[in-house]
A and B are shown apart, each in its own frame.
Chain A
Amino acid sequence: DAGVIQSPRHEVTEMGQEVTLRCKPISGHDYLFWYRQTMMRGLELLIYFNNNVPIDDSGMPEDRFSAKMPNASFSTLKIQPSEPRDSAVYFCASSINRGKGQPQHFGDGTRLSIL
């Protein structure tokens, strides 16, 4: 079974540009999470969806960030306009919510560098 697939793996762009990160969760998983990881702050939850509906976006840093999940097999995280402080590794994860014991399965992340 394929894991969580993220694209692109690396993105380098100039500040002010729009950045779109993509995620395909594991088939059958009804929860999807977007995280940001930096050396200083570790892993931070940005937003999560349940059955394609955004449930909690309190971790989204500011209005420049937006996330969508148009269907059960695809989600995007968009930054517009991008700033150098957005440079980080962004992870997507998915899980099945059948009680408390289910792990989140992470993709390999998108390493984003804003110049």
Chain B
Amino acid sequence: KNQVEQSPQSLIILEGKNCTLQCNYTVSPFSNLRWYKQDTGRGPVSLTIMTFSENTKSNGRYTATLDADTKQSSLHITASQLSDSASYICVVSDNNAGNMLTFGGGTRLMVKP
């Protein structure tokens, strides 16, 4: 059964600090991994997508990494801002399912001033 596990479940950091969110998956065959940001009361919005051959991808202060061998991904947030407070969801797609996705439970990040 395809599974995506995220850690930590929740995280509190001070504004300006960096943080790293983790995602482990058992999805096969792997197609791509996407990180979504979900603000409170809003739908998820895609931050980055990573395919099998990509190790690192950046989107502003967000940097995602992928290790396809260990089936792990991380999302690093640099110089956090209050607007980074949100849930971050790791989503993995397999080649068999096309647009079908396996969702992680998310990490709830709170950035405090």
Residues of A at the B interface (CB closer than 8 Å) are 4, 31, 33, 42-45, 48, 56, 91, 93, 95, 97, 100-104, 106-109
Contact = CB atoms under 8 A, between A and B. Distances in A.
A103 B33 CA distance: 11
A101 B32 contact: yes
Given A42-B104, A103-B34, A108 B98 contact: no
24 contacts: A42-B103, A42-B105, A42-B106, A43-B44, A45-B100, A45-B101, A91-B43, A91-B44, A95-B99, A97-B99, A100-B31, A100-B32, A100-B51, A100-B95, A100-B98, A101-B51, A104-B46, A104-B99, A106-B43, A106-B45, A108-B41, A108-B43, A109-B41, A109-B42
A104 B89 CA distance: 13
A26 B37 CA distance: 19
A48 B99 CA distance: 10
Interface of B: 31-32, 34, 41-46, 49, 51, 89, 93, 95, 98-101, 103-106
Query: What are the nearest 10 A-B pairs in CB distance?
Result: A106-B43, A103-B46, A43-B103, A42-B105, A100-B31, A108-B43, A106-B44, A108-B42, A107-B43, A91-B43
Looking at A56, A101, A103, the one whose CB has the most chain B CB atoms below 10 A away is A103
A99 B51 CA distance: 12
A101 B43 contact: no
